[in-house]
Chain A
Amino acid sequence: EIVLTQSPGTLSLSPGETATLSCRASQRISSTYLAWFQQKPGQAPRLLIHAASSRATGIPDRFSGSGSGTDFTLTISRLEPEDFAVYFCHQYGSLPWTFGQGTKLEI
């Protein structure tokens, strides 16, 4: 099983700043199979990025993904108030599919 470790656990920033979230895998992942989700309290997760760097439909270009191998990054530029949420990385290239433990982005 591929274990995904996200850092930091909590990130405290202000609107307008840039957030950099990290996801490290215990084994190499093909970039084709790394995704990022955003989750707000009481809601289902929302797909932001798939294939490491492809934005999902309707996701603003403030959200960008990068990385390869075992190290991946989600960058959120010009933070908006609605961006403060929990973010999960997810690998779907190797069974069982797994998720990181999450990074909470707080004001």
Chain B
Amino acid sequence: QVQLQESGPGLVKPSETLSLTCTVSGGSVSLSSYYWGWIRQPPGKGLEWIGSIYYNGNTNYNPSLKSRVTISLDTSNNQFSLKLSSVTAADTAVYFCARVVDGYVLIPFDYWGQGTLVTVSS
């Protein structure tokens, strides 16, 4: 069974960089059949796709965040990471990592981490 687990600081100061890691178990981030994404949800609001990373390291980002986002892959530890720079209170949200199946059929976000709340505050 595939499991994803987010980790990282729950509190980040304004203007600093938010850094989160998603550890994947029960499956490999190196397989071409899958890619991996980050999604966030401000408290009481809807979902926003942040970006995705493929097995080969190629990335796609939401243009609304592109200038501040970096997603990277760590195959040796079976993890992928999110960095969001110059954060403000508007970046306060629950951050989720999730898997996309890229096979004969594209299946979005079939497995998710439990989510981690990141609060931006001084």
Contacts of A100 in B (CB 8 A): 46
Contacts of B49 in A (CB 8 A): 96-99
Closest Cβ of chain A to B84, distance in Å, is: 15
Please tell me which one of the listed residues B63, B106, B113 contacts residue A96 in the complex, with CB atoms under 8 A apart.
B63
1/0 per position for A86-100, CB-CB distance to B under 8 A? 001010100111111
Contacts of A11 in B (CB 8 A): none
Q: For chain B, which range describes its interface: under 10, 10 to 19, 20 to 34, or 35 or more residues?
A: 20 to 34
Please tell me which one of the listed residues B46, B64, B110 contacts residue A99 in the complex, with CB atoms under 8 A apart.
B46
1/0 per position for B39-74, CB-CB distance to A under 8 A? 000000011110010000000111110000000000
A90–B110 Cα distance when bound, in Å, is 13
Q: Identify which of A15-23, A44-52, A64-72 touches chain B.
A: A44-52
Closest Cβ of chain A to B7, distance in Å, is: 15
Contacting pair A44 B46 (CB below 8 A) = no
> In A58-107, which residues have CB < 8 Å from any B CB?
88, 90, 92, 95-102
Contacting pair A99 B108 (CB below 8 A) = no
Please tell me which one of the listed residues A44, A47, A102 contacts residue B107 in the complex, with CB atoms under 8 A apart.
A47
Contacting pair B106 A44 (CB below 8 A) = no
Q: List the B residue with the shortest CB-CB distance to A46.
A: B112
A101–B49 Cα distance when bound, in Å, is 13
Does residue A29 face the partner (Cβ distance < 8 Å to B)?
no
Q: With A44-B96, A44-B114, A96-B62 known to touch, is A37 a contact of B109 (CB < 8 Å)?
A: yes
> In B74-106, which residues have CB < 8 Å from any A CB?
96, 98, 100, 105-106
Please tell me which one of the listed residues A44, A97, A102 contacts residue B108 in the complex, with CB atoms under 8 A apart.
A97
Q: With A33-B106, A50-B105, A95-B60 known to touch, is A44 a contact of B47 (CB < 8 Å)?
A: no
> In A1-38, which residues have CB < 8 Å from any B CB?
1, 32-33, 35, 37
The 9 closest A-B pairs by CB, nearest first: A44-B112, A99-B47, A97-B49, A96-B62, A92-B108, A101-B46, A50-B107, A47-B110, A35-B108
